[in-house]
Chain A
Amino acid sequence: MSDIVEKTLTALPGLFLQNQPGGGPAAAKASFSSRLGSLVRGITALTSKHEEEKLIQQELSSLKATVSAPTTTLKMMKECMVRLIYCEMLGYDASFGYIHAIKLAQQGNLLEKRVGYLAVSLFLHESHELLLLLVNTVVKDLQSTNLVEVCMALTVVSQIFPREMIPAVLPLIEDKLQHSKEIVRRKAVLALYKFHLIAPNQVQHIHIKFRKALCDRDVGVMAASLHIYLRMIKENSSGYKDLTGSFVTILKQVVGGKLPVEFNYHSVPAPWLQIQLLRILGLLGKDDQRTSELMYDVLDESLRRAELNHNVTYAILFECVHTVYSIYPKSELLEKAAKCIGKFVLSPKINLKYLGLKALTYVIQQDPTLALQHQMTIIECLDHLDPIIKRETLELLYRITNAQNITVIVQKMLEYLHQSKEEYVIVNLVGKIAELAEKYAPDNAWFIQTMNAVFSVGGDVMHPDIPNNFLRLLAEGFDDETEDQQLRLYAVQSYLTLLDMENVFYPQRFLQVMSWVLGEYSYLLDKEMPEEVIAKLYKLLMNDSVSSETKAWLIAAVTKLTSQAHSSNTVERLIHEFTISLDTCMRQHAFELKHLHENVELMKSLLPVDRSCEDLVVDASLSFLDGFVAEGLSQGAAPYKPHHQRQEEKLSQEKVLNFEPYGLSFSSSGFTGRQSPAGISLGSDVSGNSAETGLKETNSLKLEGIKKLWGKEGYLPKKESKTGDESGALPVPQESIMENVDQAITKKDQSQVLTQSKEEKEKQLLASSLFVGLGSESTINLLGKADTVSHKFRRKSKVKEAKSGETTSTHNMTCSSFSSLSNVAYEDDYYSNTLHDTGDKELKKFSLSSELLDSESLTELPLVEKFSYCSLSTPSLFANNNMEIFHPPQSTAASVAKESSLASSFLEETTEYMHSNAMEVCNNETISVSSYKIWKDDCLLMVWSVTNKSGLELKSADLEIFPAENFKVTEQPGCCLPVMEAESTKSFQYSVQIEKPFTEGNLTGFISYHMMDTHSAQLEFSVNLSLLDFIRPLKISSDDFGKLWLSFANDVKQNVKMSESQAALPSALKTLQQKLRLHIIEIIGNEGLLACQLLPSIPCLLHCRVHADILALWFRSSCSTLPDYLLYQCQKVMEGS
């Protein structure tokens, strides 16, 4: 602790203020003579904000003059920086000094450099362009022999560093991990943590070094490495299970007070370190009994030790409870944790109560009985004076909602909603109410009224999914047709009543919902004629407070109703008024209505009753215009070129200075073309399926003879504008009176009048209504986090066919991003179904292909290339000892074949797909297991082949793979043989699908077998999978490339130096094709287009351009991490060869 470095660092602050180091107070007195001192004094003396502003502006202008004067010495500059920092902290722009801060860091002596670095880290942010100027200084300082300089450089790297420049300093920082001083090691770890945060792929290869840091003899270094581990384990817990023991030991030591005494805080040993460790353990033990068992003891110890009454021990206890309930349950621990929660909740200290509620909210999903124990406390908290406590209680109630207590809970939520003014709270709560209402609504009337309340309170701030989902629910209906009709009818009636009320303002979103429902379902009304509904809509249309977007919805509704109406005076009046409207959009709608109105037959066929759910078939290629186009061409018109092509040509003409491919500007114009609100044609199509069908056709359609006409571009904007409309709308929410809320308020008024004892009774009553339904399922459902209650309003699940190509995936992505919370369960179902489906298909496909051993190669590369690529290549297979007993995956199921035939079939099988070298993953005296990967078109096939080396027979050998977080592992059939003969081999195959993008993952499993009926043995192994295993070529055309390119938001650019051998573009691309499985679409001059996809179907595009020996790579993808990763791989490939 008292080494030289620390002392030097300590002395620095004192030196700042141009004073001899001598401890804080002495320096404090001295500071008043400094310029900063007088500035601070000046500001403190002032009373008004205005004066302050004047003084600081004055100060800034004098500073500006000083820093830019050539005579200013570095010492003065340092002084100026300190004052600039102060000014900027007060909120005044000091950007003129940024460059000088960097200069100071570059040129100054130790102290000045330090101020420079400090200023830089406070002024700049990660993507600031000036930061690049700092890189050289950092590199220089990292190599310095002066410890303080090294420390300063490491510190600044761990605070801000440009992501693109990480490779420049990475090796230097890696070296520092072995430094003899712990402060340097610690800072190096923190710098690497920063890198891991901003560019995880770049530090992948040093994971092993983090393990060293974890075992460092200095506590500080170890603590720093925990940050990295917490992060990595969060992303992929299965890869770090083997470290559980180490974390447990560390925690044991900390809890046992083995750390130096200066880590104690109020005699609690390193509390924040404990919290960090508990979090890591919680993540590791989740759903994993074996790992959890390792940590029971230490958790028990932590719970016991933390009985001191101090806030920080409460913090530790909270974390303990969290962990106990996250890992595989153990009843003793759960009991203790529950007791702990009880103590928190009942505590008079408000902060503890909050903590208790938070813990209860987490725990309650696993153990609803706890809520029953504390029901009275929860009721009290519900009426607590502190809105934060109330809010937390509602959060808790939200978790225990079921079909029986929904009405009470939603009512409570609405009450809170009416008192709350904060937008964030409103958005959040409204979403929850809508979700609950959709899930558990007891009846139609309640559902519609609650949704009315949601729309009127949530207004235009709420998530656009809520009205969309609501409409979709109405339109798609449920399984029972009559109930659907009743729900729709009730909605129509309630909206008509609402519209009848005078002087009430509804949010725009609500009006849009109303107008759509009225337009679609007014026909269900018996008494009221469509004319009357039209009249009401007309009244709204003439209202000035209605936005023009809403008016478009209204007019669409009127249009739908017109075809049902008999007389149409109002419609004519409407047409008359809006055909002269100043709003072009309105005018357009009015004219459409006018023409449709004149042709009733057409109108009826165009706007059929209750057909909103049926898919429209749209000819997206606009093929009916082909004749027109051909005519135009024959008359000498220039053929149409898509936008990006024109851009490209334009660029190639002015090539002299432009080094960027394409240019960035073209994206905007293509998509913002038409701003048609959800009007006539789109209003009836909520599900968006028409777009899908349209696109599908586009893919298959061929335009012969005519080159690329304005087909697709013309169609896409339309689709885009629709989503824009549905999510748009700005105006502020307005208060309105809803039935439901009325009830709530009157009820509350009453309760205030009631006497004390009655109040008590009321609470009891409320409690019984709130916690009903919890008792019945009181069997502790510890692991079952799945929502067992079926949705009241379950949507008909439309089985969509999984379509090939990237269009589906992009569509799916937009789908899922727009889908609301309430949708999650349903979506999950859907995806797992499709996954399952594809899995089945794969199976079939695979068995087929292995039968037809000589069938055509399915992969893109010609056979020869494949062979050369697969570095294992066939001869080596036979040279390898443990390889000669490979079995063909399929045939082993039936019998054990002869070795020679095996070898040949293995060969043939692998020519079909690329595959990796076989690697021994584990062995003992009896068996050895080796594995290899087969990169199939649609999945990764892992093959483990188990060889019985002993002369004995093995019984019931079985191989199992642990479920991994990022993968979905499916076993191929025919794997388990009851008996395994002596000296034989058999294979197990698993197809691996990726579930969530990751960078690197592990697949672990074990093989178990019985030997001679006596003892059973088990052998664990693990295999490393990288994302590269899931990259496949994506075969698309250049046109599709152009289109996709525009639609992707994530891009990464980097220049890579090429080695001699691949200086020409084609050979460089070929390398990429072979090593990374990218598909070469086209090579145009010195540019190349490539594409690939991450299974199942996340596309990634690559644009390359060559200048001399520099290859400029430009990646784009819909997935944010993919480009980074591929870039890293490309760099490796290009530099490696």
Chain B
Amino acid sequence: MIKFFLMVNKQGQTRLSKYYEHVDINKRTLLETEVIKSCLSRSNEQCSFIEYKDFKLIYRQYAALFIVVGVNDTENEMAIYEFIHNFVEVLDEYFSRVSELDVSFFNTVFHGTWQMHSGPYQEPIDELPKICSALEPQQACFSPDSSSFKGAASTTPIY
């Protein structure tokens, strides 16, 4: 089961956080710092799964933004790994070339869409395509080439 979902940038600033189990607010900051630290310490040759305390972290990096999901050990790591990508694809579709700042500005939007389409402790997984199709009914859900998506990763510093 998913315990939390984080978007943190390289500087350690939290862009989005969602906890599926209550964590004390002070502990959240601590946890987020430790999580990003352990993500930053990994190289490309190392695998995208980390053991952290008694749960597993699964992370993916898009430009300077890390998306980290904390799960317990019943979860299929690869499925979550791809779920992150699915999530980003949806964002990209919605914002057309999503950037890090979009995420922080639309914090509430994110929570909003997500909340509307997900179950409590469970990943919104199959719901995401639906959000998308609901957003733009005319367009195809996902373009087969994800090349457009690479651009999404780069954060365009607006300010």
Q: Which of A9, A91, A350 contacts B116 (CB 8 A)?
A: A9
- Flag if B144 contacts A1 (CB, 8 Å): no
Q: Is A934 an interface residue (CB 8 A)?
A: no
Q: Which residues of B contact A502 (CB under 8 A)?
A: none
**Nearest CB of B to A394, in Å:** 12
- Flag if A89 contacts B77 (CB, 8 Å): no
Q: How far is the CA of A37 from the CA of B85 in the complex (A)?
A: 27
Q: How far is the CA of A219 from the CA of B133 in the complex (A)?
A: 15
Considering only residues 117-137 of chain B, those with a C-beta below 8 Å from chain A are 119-123, 125-127, 129-130, 132-135, 137
Q: Which of B22, B45, B104 contacts A44 (CB 8 A)?
A: B104
Q: Is B107 an interface residue (CB 8 A)?
A: yes
Given contacts A2-B137, A25-B95, contact A354 B104 (CB under 8 A): no
Q: Mark interface residues in B28-59 (1 if CB within 8 Å of A CB, else 0).
A: 11001000000000000111111101100000
- Flag if A12 contacts B81 (CB, 8 Å): no
Q: Which of B22, B81, B144 contacts A311 (CB 8 A)?
A: B81
Question: Among the listed stretches A67-75, A314-322, A478-486, A514-522, which one makes contact with chain B, having 4 or more residues with CB under 8 Å of it?
Answer: A314-322
Q: Which of A27, A267, A315 contacts B144 (CB 8 A)?
A: A267
Given contacts A159-B120, A272-B125, contact A389 B47 (CB under 8 A): yes
Q: Mark interface residues in A1-38 (1 if CB within 8 Å of B CB, else 0).
A: 11000110110110010000000110110011000110
Q: Which of B116, B133, B135 contacts A155 (CB 8 A)?
A: B116
Q: How far is the CA of A647 from the CA of B115 in the complex (A)?
A: 48
- Flag if A197 contacts B121 (CB, 8 Å): yes
Q: Which residues of B contact A272 (CB under 8 A)?
A: 79, 83, 123, 125-126
Q: Is A86 an interface residue (CB 8 A)?
A: yes
Q: How far is the CA of A264 from the CA of B137 in the complex (A)?
A: 16
- Flag if A158 contacts B45 (CB, 8 Å): no
- Flag if A1 contacts B130 (CB, 8 Å): yes
Given contacts A10-B134, A122-B111, A315-B76, contact A265 B106 (CB under 8 A): no
**Nearest CB of A to B113, in Å:** 6
- Flag if A13 contacts B76 (CB, 8 Å): no
Q: Mark interface residues in B3-47 (1 if CB within 8 Å of A CB, else 0).
A: 000000000011011100010011011001000000000000111
Q: Is A115 an interface residue (CB 8 A)?
A: yes
- Flag if A315 contacts B79 (CB, 8 Å): yes
Q: Is A121 an interface residue (CB 8 A)?
A: yes
Given contacts A193-B119, A315-B76, A386-B46, contact A28 B105 (CB under 8 A): yes
Q: Which residues of A contact B127 (CB under 8 A)?
A: 220
Q: How far is the CA of A679 from the CA of B2 in the complex (A)?
A: 46
Determine which residue in A40, A114, A126 has the highest number of CB atoms from chain B within 10 A of its CB, and name it.
A40
Q: Which of B47, B76, B129 contacts A263 (CB 8 A)?
A: B129
- Flag if B26 contacts A91 (CB, 8 Å): yes
Q: Is A185 an interface residue (CB 8 A)?
A: no
Q: Which of A25, A114, A265, A391 contacts B129 (CB 8 A)?
A: A265
Q: Which residues of B contact A115 (CB under 8 A)?
A: 108
Q: Is A271 an interface residue (CB 8 A)?
A: yes
Q: Which of B54, B102, B109, B134 contacts A1 (CB 8 A)?
A: B134
Q: Which residues of A contact B142 (CB under 8 A)?
A: 264-266
Determine which residue in A9, A31, A224 has the highest number of CB atoms from chain B within 10 A of its CB, and name it.
A9
Q: Is A964 an interface residue (CB 8 A)?
A: no
Q: Is B141 an interface residue (CB 8 A)?
A: yes
- Flag if A265 contacts B86 (CB, 8 Å): yes
Q: Is B78 an interface residue (CB 8 A)?
A: yes
Q: Which residue of A lies closest to B82 (CB)?
A: A312
Q: Is A275 an interface residue (CB 8 A)?
A: yes
Q: Is B64 an interface residue (CB 8 A)?
A: no
- Flag if B51 contacts A391 (CB, 8 Å): yes
Q: How far is the CA of A272 from the CA of B87 in the complex (A)?
A: 13
Given contacts A125-B22, A353-B47, contact A270 B126 (CB under 8 A): yes
**Nearest CB of B to A276, in Å:** 9
Given contacts A25-B96, A388-B50, contact A355 B120 (CB under 8 A): no
- Flag if A271 contacts B46 (CB, 8 Å): no
Q: Is A425 an interface residue (CB 8 A)?
A: yes
Q: Which residues of A contact B45 (CB under 8 A)?
A: 350, 385-386
- Flag if B106 contacts A159 (CB, 8 Å): no
Q: How far is the CA of A981 from the CA of B30 in the complex (A)?
A: 76
Q: How far is the CA of A153 from the CA of B54 in the complex (A)?
A: 34
Determine which residue in B28, B130, B137, B146 has the highest number of CB atoms from chain A within 10 A of its CB, and name it.
B130
- Flag if A262 contacts B122 (CB, 8 Å): no
Q: Which residue of B lies closest to A322 (CB)?
A: B76
- Flag if B119 contacts A224 (CB, 8 Å): yes
Q: Which residues of A contact B113 (CB under 8 A)?
A: 13
Q: How far is the CA of A266 from the CA of B86 in the complex (A)?
A: 9
Q: Which residue of A lies closest to B73 (CB)?
A: A358
Given contacts A272-B83, A351-B81, contact A266 B106 (CB under 8 A): no
Q: Is A88 an interface residue (CB 8 A)?
A: yes
- Flag if B119 contacts A10 (CB, 8 Å): no
**Nearest CB of A to B116, in Å:** 6
Q: How far is the CA of A613 from the CA of B47 in the complex (A)?
A: 50
Q: Which residues of A contact B159 (CB under 8 A)?
A: 41, 44-45
Q: Is A194 an interface residue (CB 8 A)?
A: yes
Q: Is A1133 an interface residue (CB 8 A)?
A: no
Given contacts A9-B116, A10-B135, A354-B49, contact A118 B14 (CB under 8 A): no
Q: Is A261 an interface residue (CB 8 A)?
A: yes
- Flag if B119 contacts A190 (CB, 8 Å): yes
Q: Which residues of A contact B22 (CB under 8 A)?
A: 125-126
Q: How far is the CA of A650 from the CA of B18 in the complex (A)?
A: 47
Q: How far is the CA of A2 from the CA of B109 in the complex (A)?
A: 20
Q: How far is the CA of A685 from the CA of B9 in the complex (A)?
A: 56
**Nearest CB of A to B22, in Å:** 3
- Flag if A31 contacts B108 (CB, 8 Å): no
Q: Which residue of B lies closest to A114 (CB)?
A: B112
Q: Which residues of A contact B16 (CB under 8 A)?
A: 89
Q: Which of A28, A219, A224 contacts B102 (CB 8 A)?
A: A28
Q: Mark interface residues in A137-174 (1 if CB within 8 Å of B CB, else 0).
A: 00000000000000100010011000000000000000
Q: Which residues of A contact B25 (CB under 8 A)?
A: 88, 91, 93
Q: Is A90 an interface residue (CB 8 A)?
A: yes
Q: Which residue of A lies closest to B46 (CB)?
A: A386
Q: Which residue of B lies closest to A148 (CB)?
A: B116
Considering only residues 67-82 of chain B, those with a C-beta below 8 Å from chain A are 76-79, 81-82
Q: Is A1122 an interface residue (CB 8 A)?
A: no
Q: Is A85 an interface residue (CB 8 A)?
A: yes
**Nearest CB of A to B110, in Å:** 9
Q: How far is the CA of A355 from the CA of B79 in the complex (A)?
A: 11
- Flag if A6 contacts B108 (CB, 8 Å): no
Q: Mark interface residues in A250-268 (1 if CB within 8 Å of B CB, else 0).
A: 0000000000011111110
Q: Which residue of B lies closest to A12 (CB)?
A: B112
Q: Mark interface residues in B132-159 (1 if CB within 8 Å of A CB, else 0).
A: 1111010001101010000000000001
- Flag if A85 contacts B94 (CB, 8 Å): no
Given contacts A6-B134, A91-B25, contact A271 B82 (CB under 8 A): yes
Determine which residue in A86, A275, A315 has the highest number of CB atoms from chain B within 10 A of its CB, and name it.
A315
- Flag if A16 contacts B54 (CB, 8 Å): no
Q: Which residues of B contact A93 (CB under 8 A)?
A: 25
Q: Is A82 an interface residue (CB 8 A)?
A: yes
- Flag if B47 contacts A354 (CB, 8 Å): yes
- Flag if B120 contacts A158 (CB, 8 Å): yes
Determine which residue in B47, B115, B129 has the highest number of CB atoms from chain A within 10 A of its CB, and name it.
B47
Q: How far is the CA of A16 from the CA of B116 in the complex (A)?
A: 15
Per CB-CB distance, the 7 closest pairs between chain A and chain B, nearest first, are A125-B22, A91-B29, A315-B78, A190-B119, A272-B125, A13-B109, A315-B79
Beyond contacts A197-B120, A227-B122, A386-B47: 5 other A-B pairs, Cβ-Cβ < 8 A, are A7-B134, A31-B105, A266-B142, A351-B81, A386-B46
Partner-A contacts on B (CB < 8 A):
13-14, 16-18, 22, 25-26, 28-29, 32, 45-51, 53-54, 76-79, 81-83, 85-86, 94-96, 101-102, 104-109, 111-113, 115-116, 119-123, 125-127, 129-130, 132-135, 137, 141-142, 144, 146, 159
Give 15 CB contacts A-B under 8 Å.
A24-B94, A28-B106, A43-B13, A44-B159, A89-B17, A118-B115, A151-B116, A190-B120, A227-B122, A266-B142, A318-B76, A319-B76, A350-B46, A351-B47, A389-B47
